[in-house]
Structure 1
Amino acid sequence: MSKHPLLVRDVLKRKHFESAKLIAGQQGLNRQVLWTHILEIKDFDTLINGGELILTTGVGLQLERETQIAYLENLIRNGAAALCIEIGDYFNYVPAELVAMANAHDFPIIIFEEVVRFIDITQDLHTYIINQHQQALTQLDTISRTFMELSLMPNGILKILQVLHQDTDALFLFVSEDTKSFYYPIEAKKYLHLMEDHCQQLELHEPIQLMSIDKDHFVIIPVNGLGQVWGYLCMRSALPKPSDYTLLNLERATMSIAQILMRNRMLQERQQSREDEFILALIQGEPIDLQYYQSYLPMESRNLFYRVVVFNMLDYANTFSEEDWQEIQLQNVMFVRSIIKKLGFFPTVSVRQHEIIILAFYIAADDMEENRDSFNQAIQQIVARKTPQLFEQITLTFGISNVYQSINSVQQGYKEAKTTIQMQHNELASSIYYKDLGVYRLLLHQDHVALLQYVKDYLQEILLIDQKNGNDLYQTLCVYLACNGAKNDTAEQLFIVRQTLYKRIERLENILGADFLQAPHRLNIEIAVKAYELLKKTAPDILRF
C-alpha cells in the first residue's frame, strides 16, 4: 500500500534497470509492483500472491516450448506484475510465441542482456516499497485527523470532499436521499444526476462498488450509520481500480461523513420537543391547537390514514444511567424514523422512558387502508437490523392500533396498541395488531367481577372437579374445542388413548350437556374459556370457586 504505488514503468527507471530492455507488454506498464520474487521453478501456483515482479535466470525455461508457454500462462493467471529474464547461459532468447502471448495480455517482459545481481534489485525495490508503505501510513493518519477536524466544522462534508480531491486529483460527490448532495470540484456536478439515479437503485451488501461508464470509472462506497446506508461517497477516477491507499482513505472519509450525519440527525431529534409534546397531549386526551402543531402532520386527504404504533422496551431503562438511556433512545428513534420514512410513511414520533410512540400516517386506496404489508415490512426491518448500538440487549414488543383518520382518535389508538403489547406479555396473543385480539377486545372492557360470574356459570363445576381430583377436564375441553370435536386429533394432542378421551368427553357432556359443541352453547363456553384465561393473567386473586 502506498499513496503513489510502484508501477512497472517506475521500476524501469531505477538504477539497476538502466541496461534492461522491454521486449513485450508495452501496454502493461501501469501494472502495480507489490513485491519482487526470484522464481526458478516451473510449478509455483502457491508461491506467489499476485503483483510480484518475477526475476529469473531462465533455469525453469530451458525445457520444451509447451513448458515455456505454460510457465508464462501461469504467471499471467496468478496476477504477476511482470517477468524479468537474464539472458545468458541458461536462456539465450525469448521465443516469438512468448512475446506474442505477453503482448496479447499486456504483460511486460523485461530482459537483461548483461549479468545483474538479483539481490541488489530485490533490496532496492523492497526498501522503496517498505518506505512508501510507511509514508502511506503516516499520510493516512494525518488525513484521518484532518477528516475528524473537518467533521466538526460547518459545511464539513464539502470540506472533506475538497481534501480528497487535493489528495487524489479525482472528482468527488456525496449523494443521499435524506440530505443535500455535495460535489467537488465544480466539474463533478455533471455526474450528480448520474450518481443520484444509480445510487437509488443500489442495495449494497458489499462495502465498495466499482463502476465504469465509457471512459469514466467510479468508486462508490456507502456511508453507514445506525445499521443503515445514509448516503454514498462517489469518486470519479481515470483508473478502473483505485490503489489500496485511496480505498483506505475513502473509508476514513466515509466514517467522518457518517459522524456529521449522525450529529445532524441527533440535533434534529433533540429539536422535536414540540412533536413529543403534541403526541403526549393527544394520548392524554388534552385539547390542542392543530394549527400550532400543523408542521408535524401531513396535508389532509380523503385517503390519508394512520395507525398508532408503540414500541415497548420493558424495564431495560433501569439498567442504564438516565443520561445514557436518553442517548440510546435518541439513536433508537433516529433508526426507527429512518426506516418507516423509506417505506412511505409520514411519521410523528414521541419517545418516553420505556417506549417509542409513532403516529404512522400513510396514503392508501380505500380498499387498501389496512396496509399491513408495509407495517410488517417495517417491523421486520427494525428487528433484522438490530445492531450492538441499537436496542442493545433489549427485547422489543410491538403494538399496532386499528386504522384511523381523525386525529381525535389518537388516544383510543394508543390504548389499543398498549393493550396489544400487554396481551403479548400475558401470552394471550401473538399478533402485533389490535384487530387480531378477537373476543378479548370485548372481554377487556368488562368488569372482573362480571367476568368471574360468567366463568362460574359455565366452567365452575369442571374447575372444581379438577381442583379436587387433579383431573384434566378443563384442558381436555379446551383442546377438544380447538380441534373442533375431532377425537383423534384431540387424543394425539393430549397424549392419551382414545378410551380415556371418551370417558372425559362423557363426563363433560354430563356437566355441559350433550349438545355443548352446538351453537349457541359452544359459543358461550368458548367465551367463558377466554374469560377464564384472561382473569388468570390479569386478576388471579379473585379466582375462587
Structure 2
Amino acid sequence: MTKYPLLVRDVLKRKHFESAKLIAGHQGVNRQVLWTHILEIKDFDSLINGGELILTTGVGLQLERTTQIAYLQNLIRNGAAALCIEIGDYFDHVPEELVALADEHHFPIIIFDKIVRFIDITQDLHTYIINQHQQALTQLDTISKTFMELSLMPNGILKILQVLHQDTNAHFLFVSEDTKSFYYPVEAKKHLRLIEAHCQQHDVQEPIHLLTIQSDNFVIIPVNGLGQVWGYLCMHTKLPKPSNYMLLNLERATMSIAHILMRNRMLQERQQSREDEFILALIQGQPVDIQHYQSYLPIESRNLFHRVVVLNIHYQAHIVSEEDWQEVQLHNAMYVRSILKKLGFFPTVSVRQHEIIILAFYIAADSVKESQESFDQAIQQIVSRKAPQPFNKLAITFGISNVYQTIESVPRGYKEAKSVIQMQHNQLASSIYFKDLGVYRLLLQQDNATLLQYVKDYLQEILLIDQKNGNDLYQTLCVYLACNGAKNDTAEQLFIVRQTLYKRIERLESILGNDFLQAPYRLNLEMAMKAYELLNKTAPDLLRL
C-alpha cells in the first residue's frame, strides 16, 4: 500500500534500469509493482501472489517454444506486473511469439543487454516500496485525524470531500436519499444526477462498487449506519482501478461521514419531545391543535391513510444495561423510521420505555388502501438479519391497527394495535394485524363481567362438572364442534375410543340439548368458548365458578 503506487514506468526510471529496454507490452507501463521476485523455474503458481516484478536470467526459458509461451501465459494469468530478462548465456533473445503475446495482454517485457545484479535491483525497489508504505501509513493516520476533526465541524461532509480532493486530485461526491448531496470541486456536479440515479436503481450494497461509463471511472462506497445504507461516497478518477491507499482513505472518510449522519439523526430524535407529546395526546384522546403540530404530519390528501403500528420491545438486562436502554430505544426508533421512509411511508414516531408507537401515513388508491404488502415488507426488513445490534437480539412483538383516514381515529387505532400484542402474548393469535383477530375483535370490546356472565349462561354446568369430577367435557365439546360433529375425527383427535366419546356426547346432550350443533345455538356456544379462552388468559381468577 502506497499513496503513490510504484508503476512499471517508474521502475524503468530507476538507476539500475538505465541500460534496460522495454521490448513488449508498452501499453502496460501503468501496471503496479508491489514487490520483486527472482524466478528461475517454470512451475511457480504457488510462489507469486500478483503484482510482482519478475527477474530472471532465462534459465527457466531454455525450453521449447510451446513451453515458453505457457510460461509467459502463466505469469499473465497470475497477475505479475512485468518480466525482466537478462540477455546472456542462458537466453540470447526474446522470440517474436512471446513479444506478440505480451503486446496482446499489455504485459511489459524488459531486457538487460548487460549483466545486472538482481540483488541491487531488489534492494532498491524493496526499500522504495517499504518507505512508501510507511509514509502512506503515517499519512493515513494524519488524514484520519483530520476527518474526525472535520466531522465535528459545521458542513463537515463538504470539508471532508475537499480534503479528499486535495489528497488525491480526484473529484468527489456524496449522495443520499434522506439528506442533502455534496460535491467537490464544482466540476463534479455534472456527475451528481448520474450517480444518484445509478445508486437508486441498483441499490448498491457491496463495500466497493466500481463503475465505468465511457472514459469515466467511478468508485462508489456505501456509507452505513444502524444496518442501513445512508448514502454513497463516490470518487471520479482517471485510474481504472483505485490503489489500496485510496480505498483505505475512502473507508476512513465514510466512517467520519457516518458519524456526522449519526449525530444529526440523534439530534433529530432527541428533539422529538414535541412529537412524543403530540402522539401521547392523540392516543389519550386529548384535544390537539393540529396546526401547532403540522410539521409532524404529511400534507392532507384525499388518498392519505394511516395505520397505528406499535412495537412492544421486551427489555433484556443481559443484552442491554438499564443505563443504556433509553439511548438504545432512540437508536431503535431511528432504525425503524429510516426503513419506513425508504418504503414510502410518512412516519410520526414516539419512543416510550418499552414501546415505539408509529403513525404510519401512506398514500394509496381506495382499491388498495387495505393492502398489507408494504407493512409486511417493512416488518421483514425491521427484523432481518441486517438489523443493527442490539436490535436484532431483542424480543419484539408487533401490533398493527385497521386503516383510518382521520387523526381522531388514532386512539382507536392505538387500542387495536395494543390488543393485537396482548392476543399474541396470550397465544390466542399469531397475526400482527387487528383485522385478523376475528371474533376476538368483538369480545375485546366487552368488559370482563359481561364476558363472564356470557360464559356462565352457556358453559357453567359443563365447567363445574369438569372441575368437580375431573372430566373432559369442555375439551370434548371444543373438538366435537371443530370437527363439525364428525365422531370418528373427534375420537382420533381426543385419543379415545368411540364408546367413550358416545358417552360424553350423551352427557353434553343432556346438558345442552340435542340440537346444540344447530344454529344459532352452536354459534352461541362457540362465542362463549372464545370468551372463556380470553378470560382464562387475561383474568383467570374470575373463572372460579
TM tier, smaller? over 0.9
Contact 1:309 1:399 in 2 (8 A): yes
- Unmatched runs of 5 consecutive residues or more in structure 1: none
Give the corresponding residue for 2:396.
396
Q: Counterparts in 2 of 1:234-313, with a 5 A limit?
A: 234-313=234-313
Change (3 A) 1:75 1:471: farther
Q: CA separation in 2, counterparts of 1:9 and 1:129?
A: 15
- More divergent stretch after superposition (420-429 vs 95-104): 420-429
Superposition deviation, residue 509 in structure 1: 4.4
Determine helix, strand or coil for the equivalent of 2:135.
Answer: helix
Q: CA separation in 1, counterparts of 2:328 and 2:350?
A: 14
Contact 1:399 1:421 in 2 (8 A): yes
Give the corresponding residue for 2:111.
111
Determine helix, strand or coil for the equivalent of 1:396.
Answer: strand
Q: Counterpart of 2:366 in structure 1: which amino acid?
A: D
**Corresponding position: 1:185 with 2:176:** no
Superposition deviation, residue 77 in structure 1: 0.9
Q: CA separation in 2, counterparts of 1:491 and 1:203?
A: 56
Q: Counterparts in 2 of 1:78-93, with a 5 A limit?
A: 78-93=78-93
- TM-align CA RMSD: 2.1
- More divergent stretch after superposition (297-306 vs 470-479): 470-479
Q: Counterpart of 2:458 in structure 1: which amino acid?
A: Y
Q: Percent identity?
A: 82
Q: Counterpart of 1:268 in structure 2: which amino acid?
A: Q
Change (3 A) 1:444 1:56: same
**Corresponding position: 1:215 with 2:253:** no
Give the corresponding residue for 1:53.
53
Superposition deviation, residue 99 in structure 1: 0.4
Superposition deviation, residue 343 in structure 1: 1.4
Change (3 A) 1:405 1:66: same
Q: Counterpart of 2:135 in structure 1: which amino acid?
A: Q
Superposition deviation, residue 169 in structure 1: 0.4
Give the corresponding residue for 1:344.
344
Contact 2:383 2:392 in 1 (8 A): no
Q: CA separation in 1, counterparts of 2:53 and 2:538?
A: 77
Deviations 1:20-76 (A, max 9, x none): 111100000110111112222222222211111111222221111111111111111
Contact 2:491 2:497 in 1 (8 A): yes
Deviations 1:155-214 (A, max 9, x none): 100000000001100000001111111100111111111111111113223111100111
Q: CA separation in 1, counterparts of 2:319 and 2:106?
A: 63
Q: Counterpart of 1:270 in structure 2: which amino acid?
A: R
Superposition deviation, residue 83 in structure 1: 0.8
**How does the TM-score come out when normalised to structure 1?**
0.95
Determine helix, strand or coil for the equivalent of 1:201.
Answer: helix
Q: CA separation in 2, counterparts of 1:390 and 1:339?
A: 17
Contact 1:226 1:390 in 2 (8 A): no
Q: Counterpart of 1:302 in structure 2: which amino acid?
A: R
Superposition deviation, residue 318 in structure 1: 11
Q: CA separation in 2, counterparts of 1:517 and 1:215?
A: 80
- More divergent stretch after superposition (308-317 vs 422-431): 308-317
Please list every run of at least 4 consecutive aligned residues from structure 1 whose deviation after the TM superposition is greater than 6 angstroms.
none
Superposition deviation, residue 248 in structure 1: 0.7
Q: CA separation in 1, counterparts of 2:135 and 2:36?
A: 20
Determine helix, strand or coil for the equivalent of 2:429.
Answer: coil
Give the corresponding residue for 2:31.
31
Q: CA separation in 2, counterparts of 1:19 and 1:384?
A: 62
Superposition deviation, residue 338 in structure 1: 1.2
Give the corresponding residue for 1:423.
423
Change (3 A) 1:490 1:257: farther
Contact 2:319 2:390 in 1 (8 A): no
Q: CA separation in 1, counterparts of 2:279 and 2:184?
A: 42
Q: CA separation in 1, counterparts of 2:431 and 2:133?
A: 58
Deviations 1:245-271 (A, max 9, x none): 100100110010011111111112222
Q: Counterpart of 2:524 in structure 1: which amino acid?
A: N
Give the corresponding residue for 2:70.
70
Give the corresponding residue for 1:163.
163
Q: Counterpart of 1:395 in structure 2: which amino acid?
A: A
Contact 2:226 2:388 in 1 (8 A): no
Q: CA separation in 1, counterparts of 2:418 and 2:318?
A: 20
Q: Counterpart of 2:362 in structure 1: which amino acid?
A: Y
Superposition deviation, residue 227 in structure 1: 0.8
Contact 2:463 2:474 in 1 (8 A): yes
Q: CA separation in 1, counterparts of 2:451 and 2:350?
A: 35
Superposition deviation, residue 501 in structure 1: 5.0
Q: CA separation in 2, counterparts of 1:318 and 1:78?
A: 50
Q: CA separation in 2, counterparts of 1:329 and 1:163?
A: 35
**Corresponding position: 1:437 with 2:445:** no
- More divergent stretch after superposition (69-78 vs 481-490): 481-490
Superposition deviation, residue 457 in structure 1: 3.2
Q: Counterpart of 1:15 in structure 2: which amino acid?
A: K
**Corresponding position: 1:377 with 2:377:** yes
Contact 2:304 2:363 in 1 (8 A): yes
Determine helix, strand or coil for the equivalent of 1:145.
Answer: helix
Q: CA separation in 2, counterparts of 1:160 and 1:192?
A: 17
Determine helix, strand or coil for the equivalent of 2:146.
Answer: helix
Q: CA separation in 2, counterparts of 1:162 and 1:491?
A: 79
Contact 1:331 1:390 in 2 (8 A): no
Change (3 A) 1:65 1:493: farther
Q: Counterpart of 1:478 in structure 2: which amino acid?
A: C
Contact 1:227 1:385 in 2 (8 A): no
Change (3 A) 1:258 1:319: closer
**Corresponding position: 1:41 with 2:41:** yes
Change (3 A) 1:415 1:121: same
Change (3 A) 1:233 1:485: farther
Superposition deviation, residue 389 in structure 1: 3.2
Determine helix, strand or coil for the equivalent of 2:430.
Answer: coil
Deviations 1:94-113 (A, max 9, x none): 11000000000000011122
**Corresponding position: 1:447 with 2:447:** yes
Q: CA separation in 2, counterparts of 1:15 and 1:499?
A: 106
- Unmatched runs of 5 consecutive residues or more in structure 2: none
Number of residues of Structure 1 aligned to a counterpart in Structure 2: 545
Determine helix, strand or coil for the equivalent of 1:384.
Answer: coil
Q: CA separation in 1, counterparts of 2:497 and 2:171?
A: 78
Q: CA separation in 2, counterparts of 1:40 and 1:362?
A: 70
Change (3 A) 1:489 1:156: farther
Contact 1:317 1:353 in 2 (8 A): no
Determine helix, strand or coil for the equivalent of 2:395.
Answer: coil
Q: CA separation in 1, counterparts of 2:298 and 2:290?
A: 12
**Corresponding position: 1:360 with 2:335:** no
Contact 2:205 2:222 in 1 (8 A): no
Superposition deviation, residue 485 in structure 1: 4.1
Contact 1:313 1:394 in 2 (8 A): yes
Determine helix, strand or coil for the equivalent of 1:313.
Answer: strand
**How does the TM-score come out when normalised to structure 2?**
0.95
Superposition deviation, residue 490 in structure 1: 4.4
**Corresponding position: 1:127 with 2:134:** no
Q: CA separation in 2, counterparts of 1:516 and 1:120?
A: 104
Contact 1:41 1:60 in 2 (8 A): yes
- More divergent stretch after superposition (98-107 vs 365-374): 365-374
Q: CA separation in 2, counterparts of 1:492 and 1:29?
A: 82
Q: Counterpart of 1:167 in structure 2: which amino acid?
A: D
Determine helix, strand or coil for the equivalent of 1:291.
Answer: coil
Superposition deviation, residue 446 in structure 1: 2.1
Superposition deviation, residue 320 in structure 1: 5.5
Give the corresponding residue for 2:414.
414
